[in-house]
Amino acid sequence: MDVNVFLIVIDTLRRDVMSLYGGDTDTPFINEIARDGVLFENAVSSGNWTPTSHMSIFSGLYPGEHGVHENYDEGDEVIFKKMLEYDGHWFVKDLYKRGYSNIGYSTNPWLSPSSMFDLYYSSFTFFSSEYLTEREMEAVRDYKKYGKNRIDATEYLLLHGKFKEFSHYYHTFRWMLKKKREYGYPFYKASDIIIDNILNSSFNEPFFTFINFMEVHEPSSSWELDTDDRKIKYNDLFGFDVIDDRKIKDVKEGYRKSLKNVDYEIGRLVNFLKKKKMYDSSLIIITSDHGQAMKEQRKIPFYGHGNFLYDEIIEIPLIVKYPGNVKIKRKSGYQSLVNIKKLIENAVDGNNEDVLTEETVFSEMFGPIHNLKRLSDEGIIKKMDNIYEKIIEYFPKRKAVYSKGFKLVINGENGEVEEFTFHGKKANVSEHPNVIKNLRDEISIFRGNEKFVV
Amino acid sequence: MEYNKRVEGGLSLNAKEDIARVVIRDALERYKRPFVVWSAGKDSMVVLHLIKSYVEKNNMEMPPALFIDHGQHYDETLELIEKISREWNFKVIYARNEDALNKVKDGKIYVKDLDEENQREVRKIGFLEDYFEYSLDTDVGNHVLKTVAMNNAIKRYRIDALFTGIRWDENPARSWEVFISPREEPPHVRVHPILPFTERNVWEYTFKYNLPVHPLYKQGYRSIDGKYDSKKTSDKPAWEQDLEHTYERAGRSQDKEGMMEKLRRFGYM
């Protein structure tokens, strides 16, 4: 019998916040899936932001192999073009050929019809959560024009007969308040609409359902709302306008609340599947495309994702509930996003062995994820004359390798070791010459023909 | 055994070298993670040298070599591998089927002892007995000890292009091979730069560029692999034998009736 498949990507979710992985945020509904399935403890994302990682999930290839990645000059500006040009392995296509009905839901603009991400889906729904946030931001900004506070502004609008405007703001704010009350955070990212949609769908079996939830993706707190996120991140990183601890505290709080909210929505989905008697027989994969740095103590502290290969950016959760709720035997090692394709292909063939785990896995980046030259020239971030030097200094090509408890990150511009840890704790390079040599060899083989100093 | 060799007899060695360089350039430009299958034998030595000259000239990285270690190599082979890779400064990956090699009992490998993947491979090529000899004399031994080891390395190191030193005139099963040949399982391409080289051309190239020569060739072996399945064809050095009118791989059991063709169907070179 053909297996139904759910692939749920909780965008930007780092694994260490989840209680399943020893963190302080409990996710009772995801825990329930983990109880019926297998918790993979060492999953690493192949890239550090949405496009590179999602391309890896769907193609089974590392960013350097599928080619959709940032570079020093153009950052995100070339990504849509590269996504449109990509013409390689794609498991959604294979499922389609097998007669699967593919259904996709996304609130992430990278995963939308603009990048032709909807190809080979019988139905692909993109909710522009960014648009909703923008609309809220606009309303907040505009309203300030009419008075220094809410009461003043309301008085002004009513006294000047601007009833239509008043009505618009009234409804917008009321709606925001409702969401805030419901979820405890001010940003609506449409996860409830996605689940509503699924609950109201009829299913053509076998099917594959892909969901990308943007809930835990920034903005996570209200101070981020008024400003371009690139301005916030890079001015902080270069030390021009530092994000203080209080703001980071707000971020962490918002992030946790958002995770609770996604968890709740996943719970609704699980209940529905149980009721429809589709839960037990389905393959359900819950993972993330990358984590989120929140100014942890690093050589360059950073808020956001992309740009670095810190643990908090590339170590992700991975929970797999196999069809029939079988508990498969896990191999020891690491799981990479590039093996999700194989997991799905094997499961639809009725084979449930551990194809996710490998002895050695990698993560790679090819520069900053934004075009910093343009951001600097246009004054979106503080103007810098030596921008290319800064790019090479802060965002060189990097590759990380994980093997036997060790993690090594190499700067591909000068071959220097940027990070060397053993089970997450800083390790001494001079004490482990053989480990360093072996891991360098792994990276140099992985690099292949690429110009990357090891 | 006699057959009509496919011999490219009109082109000069220089022209064949040029062809090889074009094939190498095309593969290195298009594929990201190339490897060279290297056994320290005469053919793969030529391929390795052609690639080395090309990457040095173009300031590129030397691809790593893949040495298929079936556990029955001559000591001389292992020494040569070590020595040349050190002198020429490139990495060698030893592809071994550890599970199968660990399960050898009194010269036999019992299928039930093997792990799931190896059992699948044994059945895939149609072997239904309980055990097979730890030998390269049989198709099952060859497949498990060499092809499976090689395929696992292709997967493990995500190799997308694998250079090998096969030639048209060696064996009927290789005589219709093309320069760059896509493979499905695992997905990669095989790159064959010296297809048109004859056995004579290989020796000409070896002496022209003064390449290291495996000592066994001097003792009369013409084709070298495992120490139990390679036999001398004469007492004369390989290059002094009648290369054009006798069969190069007469000393190799792989070339028994139809075996090479079957092995290649399941991923062999």
Structure tokens, A300: 């360059």
Instruction: Give the whole-angstrom CA distance, residue A346 versus residue A60.
Output: 13
Q: Assess whether A113 and A177 both reside in one domain.
A: no
Q: Percent of chain B having pLDDT more than 70?
A: 97
Instruction: Give the whole-angstrom CA distance, residue A268 versus residue A435.
Output: 46
Q: Which of B32, B91, B157 sits opposite A449 (nearest CB)?
A: B32
Q: A399 - beta bridge partners?
A: A364, A410
* pLDDT the model gives residue B165: 96
Averaged pLDDT for residues B16-40: 96
Q: How confident is the model at residue A74 (pLDDT cuts 50, 70, 90)?
A: confident
Given a cut of 60, whether residue A65 has pLDDT beyond it is yes
Structure tokens, B34: 């190339």
Q: Which of A64, A353, A358 sits opposite B32 (nearest CB)?
A: A64
* pLDDT the model gives residue A138: 77
Structure tokens, A29: 């509904």
Interface ipTM: 0.88
Given a cut of 80, whether residue A176 has pLDDT beyond it is no
* pLDDT the model gives residue A371: 95
Q: A211 - beta bridge partners?
A: A8, A105
Q: Assess whether A248 and A326 both reside in one domain.
A: yes
Task: Identify the residue among A339, A449, A451 best suited for mutation to test binding to B, counting B beta carbons within 10 A and taking the highest.
Answer: A449
| B163 in Cβ contact with B191 (< 8 Å) | yes
Task: Identify the residue among B32, B59, B157, B163 best suited for mutation to test binding to A, counting A beta carbons within 10 A and taking the highest.
Answer: B32
Give the CA distances from residue B177 to residues B17, B181, B194, B249, in Å, rounded to whole numbers and listed in that order: 18, 8, 11, 18
With respect to residue A322, please indicate whether it lies within any of the assigned structural domains.
yes
Instruction: Give the whole-angstrom CA distance, residue A245 versus residue A256.
Output: 17
For A210-224, A295-309, A317-331, B218-232, which range has the lowest pLDDT when averaged over its residues?
B218-232
Domain of A32, CATH number, reads 3.40.720.10
Q: At what angle do helices A245-275 and A163-183 cross, to 10 degrees?
A: 80
Q: Does B93 touch chain A (CB under 8 A)?
A: yes
Q: How confident is the model at residue B251 (pLDDT cuts 50, 70, 90)?
A: confident
| B157 in Cβ contact with B93 (< 8 Å) | yes
Q: Does B33 touch chain A (CB under 8 A)?
A: yes
| A109 in Cβ contact with A215 (< 8 Å) | no
In 3D, which of A292, A235, A301 has the Cα closest to residue A48?
Answer: A292
Task: Identify the residue among B36, B67, B85, B158 best suited for mutation to test binding to A, counting A beta carbons within 10 A and taking the highest.
Answer: B158
Domain of B76, CATH number, reads 3.40.50.620
Angle at A251 between CA A246 and CA A252, to 5 degrees: 95
Q: What are the backbone dihedrals phi and psi of residue A306, each rounded to the nearest 5 degrees, phi first?
A: 75, 175
Instruction: Report the domain count for chain B.
Output: 1
Q: Does A437 touch chain B (CB under 8 A)?
A: no
Q: Which of residues 55-84 of B touch A (CB under 8 A)?
A: 60-61, 64
Q: Assess whether A237 and A264 both reside in one domain.
A: yes
Residue type present at position A225: L
From A448, which residue of chain B is nearest by alpha-carbon distance? Answer: B33
Q: Which of residues 64-93 of A touch B (CB under 8 A)?
A: 64-65, 89
With respect to residue A22, please indicate whether it lies within any of the assigned structural domains.
yes
Quote the DSSP letter at residue B160.
S
With respect to residue A327, please indicate whether it lies within any of the assigned structural domains.
yes
| B66 in Cβ contact with B95 (< 8 Å) | yes
With respect to residue A143, please indicate whether it lies within any of the assigned structural domains.
no
Residue A414: Cβ within 10 Å count: 10
Q: Which residue has the higher pLDDT, B235 or B204?
A: B204
Query: A-chain residues within 8 Å CB-CB of B64?
Result: 445
* pLDDT the model gives residue B256: 64
Q: Assess whether A202 and A254 both reside in one domain.
A: yes
Q: Which residue has the higher pLDDT, A172 or A294?
A: A294
Residues 6+ apart with CB under 8 A from A312: A14, A16, A291, A292, A293, A294, A296
Q: Which of B31, B157, B160 sits opposite A445 (nearest CB)?
A: B157
H and E: helices and strands count for chain A: 16, 16
In 3D, which of A103, A100, A96 has the Cα closest to residue A123?
Answer: A103
Q: What is the 3-state secondary structure (H, E, C) of A46-82?
A: CCCCHHHHHHHHHHCCCHHHHCCCCCCCCHHHHHHHH
* pLDDT the model gives residue A173: 82
Averaged pLDDT for residues A230-240: 95
Instruction: Report the domain count for chain A.
Output: 2
Q: Percent of chain B having pLDDT more than 90?
A: 74
pLDDT tens sequence across A331-380: 999 999 999 999 999 999 999 999 999 999 999 999 999 999 999 999 99
Q: Do A65 and B32 touch (CB under 8 A)?
A: yes
Q: Do B32 and A444 touch (CB under 8 A)?
A: no
For A145-154, A228-237, B28-37, B111-120, which range has the lowest pLDDT when averaged over its residues?
A145-154
Quote the DSSP letter at residue B174.
G
Q: Please give, rounded to a whole number of angstroms, the shortest distance from the CA of B251 to a CA of chain A.
A: 35
Q: Do B32 and A441 touch (CB under 8 A)?
A: no
Q: To the nearest whole number, what is the mean pLDDT of chain A?
A: 93
* pLDDT the model gives residue B254: 63
Q: Do A449 and B93 touch (CB under 8 A)?
A: no
Q: Assess whether A76 and A94 both reside in one domain.
A: yes
Query: What is the total residue count of chain B?
Result: 269
With respect to residue A121, please indicate whether it lies within any of the assigned structural domains.
yes
Which residue, of A305, A339, A367, is where some domain finishes?
Answer: A367
| A398 in Cβ contact with A447 (< 8 Å) | no
Q: Do B158 and A444 touch (CB under 8 A)?
A: no
Q: How confident is the model at residue A132 (pLDDT cuts 50, 70, 90)?
A: low
Given a cut of 60, whether residue A447 has pLDDT beyond it is yes
Q: Assess whether A178 and A199 both reside in one domain.
A: no
Q: Does A349 touch chain B (CB under 8 A)?
A: no
Q: Which of residues 132-151 of A touch B (CB under 8 A)?
A: none
Q: Which of A64, A449, A450 sits opposite B28 (nearest CB)?
A: A449
Q: How confident is the model at residue B1 (pLDDT cuts 50, 70, 90)?
A: very low
Q: Which residue has the tokens 């075009």?
A: A371
* pLDDT the model gives residue B231: 81
Q: Which residue has the higher pLDDT, A50 or A142?
A: A50
Which residue, of A367, A399, A434, is where some domain finishes?
Answer: A367
Q: Assess whether A241 and A266 both reside in one domain.
A: yes
Given a cut of 60, whether residue A184 has pLDDT beyond it is no
Q: Assess whether A160 and A304 both reside in one domain.
A: no
Q: Assess whether A254 and A328 both reside in one domain.
A: yes
pLDDT tens sequence across A276-297: 999 999 999 999 999 999 999 9
Quote the DSSP letter at residue B145.
I
Instruction: Give the whole-angstrom CA distance, residue B192 versus residue B47.
Output: 9
With respect to residue B122, please indicate whether it lies within any of the assigned structural domains.
no
H and E: helices and strands count for chain B: 10, 9
Given a cut of 50, whether residue A14 has pLDDT beyond it is yes
Q: What are the backbone dihedrals phi and psi of residue A333, each rounded to the nearest 5 degrees, phi first?
A: 145, -145
Domain region containing B246: 13-97+143-265
Q: Which residue has the higher pLDDT, A440 or A73?
A: A440
Structure tokens, B71: 């556990």
Q: Which residue has the tokens 């360059």?
A: A300
Q: A286 - beta bridge partners?
A: A8, A319
Integer-rounded Cα Rg, in Å, for chain A is 23
Query: B-chain residues within 8 Å CB-CB of A447?
Result: 61
| Count of pairs with CB atoms under 8 A, one residue in A, one in B | 33
Query: A-chain residues within 8 Å CB-CB of B116?
Result: 353
Query: A-chain residues within 8 Å CB-CB of B31?
Result: 448-449
Q: Which residue has the tokens 């070791």?
A: A417
For B95-99, B155-159, B184-188, which range has the lowest pLDDT when averaged over its residues?
B184-188
For A59-63, A147-151, B206-210, which range has the lowest pLDDT when averaged over its residues?
A147-151
In 3D, which of A40, A47, A51 has the Cα closest to residue A18?
Answer: A40
Instruction: Give the whole-angstrom CA distance, residue A22 versus residue B3.
Output: 68
Given a cut of 70, whether residue A139 has pLDDT beyond it is yes
For A158-172, A297-311, A418-432, which range has the lowest pLDDT when averaged over its residues?
A158-172
Q: Do A445 and B93 touch (CB under 8 A)?
A: yes
Given a cut of 90, whether residue A100 has pLDDT beyond it is yes
Q: Assess whether A241 and A175 both reside in one domain.
A: no
**Whether residue A206 has a cis bond before it, omega within 30° of 0:** yes
Averaged pLDDT for residues A437-442: 97
For A73-87, A166-180, B42-56, B181-195, which range has the lowest pLDDT when averaged over its residues?
A166-180
In 3D, which of A96, A148, A44 has the Cα closest to residue A359?
Answer: A44
Q: Assess whether A273 and A300 both reside in one domain.
A: yes
From B34, which residue of chain A is nearest by alpha-carbon distance? Answer: A448
Instruction: Give the whole-angstrom CA distance, residue A123 versus residue B119.
Output: 41
Quote the DSSP letter at residue B71.
S
Instruction: Give the whole-angstrom CA distance, residue A392 versus residue A23.
Output: 34
With respect to residue A209, please indicate whether it lies within any of the assigned structural domains.
yes
Domain region containing A156: 148-183
Q: Which of residues 155-194 of B touch A (CB under 8 A)?
A: 156-158, 160, 187
Instruction: Give the whole-angstrom CA distance, residue A355 versus residue A344.
Output: 10
Instruction: Give the whole-angstrom CA distance, residue A107 versus residue A10.
Output: 11
Given a cut of 90, whether residue A272 has pLDDT beyond it is yes
Element (H, E) at A170: helix A163-183
With respect to residue A31, please indicate whether it lies within any of the assigned structural domains.
yes
Given a cut of 70, whether residue B48 has pLDDT beyond it is yes
Query: A-chain residues within 8 Å CB-CB of B118?
Result: none
Which residue, of A183, A207, A227, is where some domain finishes?
Answer: A183
Q: Do A445 and B91 touch (CB under 8 A)?
A: yes
Q: Assess whether A99 and A234 both reside in one domain.
A: yes
With respect to residue A140, please indicate whether it lies within any of the assigned structural domains.
no
Per-residue burial over B200-212, b if 16 or more Cβ lie within 10 Å, else e, is ebbbbbbeeeebe
